Structure 1
Amino acid sequence: MRASDADRDQVADRLREALAEGRITPEEHAERIDAVYRAKTYADLDPLLADLPSEQAPRPKVRLQKDEAALPPPVRQSAGLVAVFSGATRKGRWLVEPTTNVSCVFGGVDLDFRQAVLSQGEVTVNVSCLFGGIDITVPPGVRVTNSAAMVFGGADLPDDVIDPDAPLIRLTGMVIFGGINVRRREIGEKRSRHDRQLERHRRHMERIEEHHERMLERHTDMHRRRDERRERLRELRAERRRHR
Structure 2
Amino acid sequence: MSDDARADLRASDADRERVAEILRDALAEGRLDMSEFEERLEQTYQARTYGELTPITRDLPAPGVTPPPVVSLRKDAAVDGGRDEDWSGRIVGGEGSSTWAVAVMSGFQRRGRWTVPRRFNCFAFWGGGELDLREANFADGEVVINCVAIMGGMQIVVPPGVEVVVRGIGVMGGFDQREAGIPGDPGAPRVVVTGFAFWGGVGVERKQTRAARRQAKLDRKAALRELHADFRDDVQQAHRRMLEGHKDVLRGHREERRREPRYED
TM-score normalised per structure 1: 0.46
Q: Which has the higher contact order (CA 8 A, sep 6+)?
A: 1
Which structure: larger Rg?
2
> TM-score, normalising length from structure 2?
0.43
